[in-house]
Amino acid sequence: MRDRRDLTGTGFETRAVHGGGGPDPTTGAVNTPVYLSSTFAQDAVGVDRGYEYARSGNPSRASLEAHLALLEGAEFGFAFASGMAAEDAIMRLLDPGDHLVMPTDSYGGTYRLATQVHRRAGLAVDTAHLSTLREVLKPETRMVWVETPTNPLLDIVDIAAVAELAHGQGAIVVVDNTFATPWIQRPLDLGADIVVHSTTKYLGGHSDVIGGFAATNDPDCAQRLAFLQNAAGAVPGPLDCFLVQRGVMTLPIRMERHCANALAVVDLLRRHEAVKHVLHPSLADHPRHDVARRQMRAFGGMVSFTLHGGEQAALDVCTRTHIFTLAESLGGVESLIEHPGRMTHASAAGSSNEVPADLVRLSVGIEAVDDLVEDLERALDTVV
Ligand SMILES: Cc1ncc(COP(=O)(O)O)c(C=O)c1O
């Protein structure tokens, strides 16, 4: 077992580098090794050295879980095989007949999971713009799901205000912090009960691993999540844990660059005649810019926009960039461009969560900013 350094009072960057624990006491390895073992020898029947079977626990996973929990300011953390697996475990905390409120603008897969999997298992699900949350809360509401910034419309939800309202009703608040990361905002500090991530995105940061994570300070939620993690078994392998952990160590410097490059891209989009509307919380005319300023350290690397030329122009722009790669996902070092209506959010078509057809979403990477601006400008010039 690796020693845990005392990182009390250290800065976020220090915790990002050292949060996985100190050097391995046996070998001095400075990084947590990839423990490729499915089972662990016991010294006597029922006497183990902290691990018995790798679905229940593995040192590579334990190190990642402690690391990410530290960054989110959580006492308990659980790694999963994907963001969806983490979300599924959280929704399983609810019982048939319980009511879940979700945002009208959330990741399409989250909406699909709630409405096509958990609703079938007896959960009552409503979508609402969370600014009107008060109107949809019921006595049986047990969970309010928050995504902020939202995917793909980049709206901002006031976490503290939602938490106050939901708690008054006896509901817990879950925040998907995938877009912001704990470098930008810490939902548990703002009153949320559970924070969830697709670690596939900024935490992993290199588009080479699928993973999920959930954290909480509530011992009861933690105990049930631990049970579900082991009982349902949607756990990440040790190599996946290593890859996420390696990414996390550079999270702060990557996020600084993502955010700075995104501001330059926003500036270009605001000036370009092909662009109808730019969606980014940095903009003073964003409806919840003030909330963003209050709860976020920076405005994030995701940028969305609509085009005067409608859906066809959006589809054309997506195929005419050279540095921005046409692909789903986000949060990696490379810039990506996509059409949410036909790609990431296709499963929400025809529902209250359907996204505009002329919408393009960018995950702004950490390349040279001038190259990104030029690439996008050239593609936009073709649809004027
Ligand atoms: C905000 C958000 N949450 C959750 C997920 C699901 O994560 P995963 O793809 O790792 O299962 C995604 C995936 O795109 C996402 O964007």
How deeply is 8 buried, as exposed, middle or buried, from its count of CB atoms within 10 A (0-12, 13-18, 19+)? Answer: exposed
Of 2, 61, 186, 201, the catalytic one is 201
Annotated catalytic residue 267: no
3-state secondary structure at position 146? strand
Closest CA to ligand 1's atom 7: 83
Ligand 1 binding pocket includes 109 (Cβ within 6 Å): yes
The per-residue b/e assignment along 356-380, b for 16 or more CB within 10 angstroms, e otherwise, is bbbbbbbbbbbbebeebbebbbebb
Phi then psi for 66, rounded to 5 degrees?
-70, -40
Predicted local confidence at residue 2, as pLDDT: 56
Cis peptide before 152 (omega within 30 of 0): yes
The two three-digit tokens of residue 9, written as one number: 């009072």
Phi then psi for 93, rounded to 5 degrees?
-70, -20
Q: In what order do the strands lie in the sheet with 325-326?
A: 275-279, 302-307, 359-363, 336-338, 325-326
Residue found by looking up tokens 């890859």 in the block: 243
Q: For residues 34 and 59, give the distance between their C-alpha atoms in angstroms, rounded to a whole number.
A: 8
How deeply is 206 buried, as exposed, middle or buried, from its count of CB atoms within 10 A (0-12, 13-18, 19+)? Answer: middle
Q: Distance, CA 247 to ligand 1 centroid (Å)?
A: 17
Annotated catalytic residue 138: no
Please report the atom of ligand 1 found closest to the CA of residue 179. Answer: 1
pLDDT bin (cut points 50, 70, 90) of residue 354 is confident
**What are the pLDDT digits (tens) for 103-129?**
988 888 999 999 999 999 999 999 988
Nearest alpha-carbon partner for 34 in 246, 347, 276: 246
Ligand 1 binding pocket includes 82 (Cβ within 6 Å): yes
pTM of the model: 0.96
Whether 195 and 49 have beta carbons less than 8 Å apart is answered as: no
Q: Mention every residue, 6+ apart, whose C-beta is less than 8 A from residue 266.
A: 278, 280, 282, 283, 303
Q: Which residue has the higher pLDDT, 384 or 24?
A: 384
Q: For residues 239 and 282, give the distance between their C-alpha atoms in angstroms, rounded to a whole number.
A: 36
Predicted local confidence at residue 3, as pLDDT: 61
Mean pLDDT score, 346-369: 92
Whether 362 and 335 have beta carbons less than 8 Å apart is answered as: yes
Q: Which of 201, 345, 361, 362 to mutate to test the pocket of ligand 1 (most atoms within 8 A of CB)?
A: 201
Of 4, 5, 24, 55, the catalytic one is 55
**What are the pLDDT digits (tens) for 185-228?**
999 999 999 999 999 999 999 999 999 999 999 999 999 999 99
Ligand 1 binding pocket includes 336 (Cβ within 6 Å): no
Whether 339 and 349 have beta carbons less than 8 Å apart is answered as: no
**What are the pLDDT digits (tens) for 157-176?**
999 999 999 999 999 999 99
Closest CA to ligand 1's atom 9: 83
Q: Indicate the angle between helix axes 238-248 and 59-72, nearest 10 degrees.
A: 30
Residue found by looking up tokens 């793909």 in the block: 152
Ligand 1 binding pocket includes 176 (Cβ within 6 Å): yes
Mean pLDDT score, 266-272: 98
Determine what percent of the chain is predicted with pLDDT higher than 90.
90
pLDDT bin (cut points 50, 70, 90) of residue 336 is very high
Strands (E), 167-280: 172-176, 194-198, 212-216, 275-279
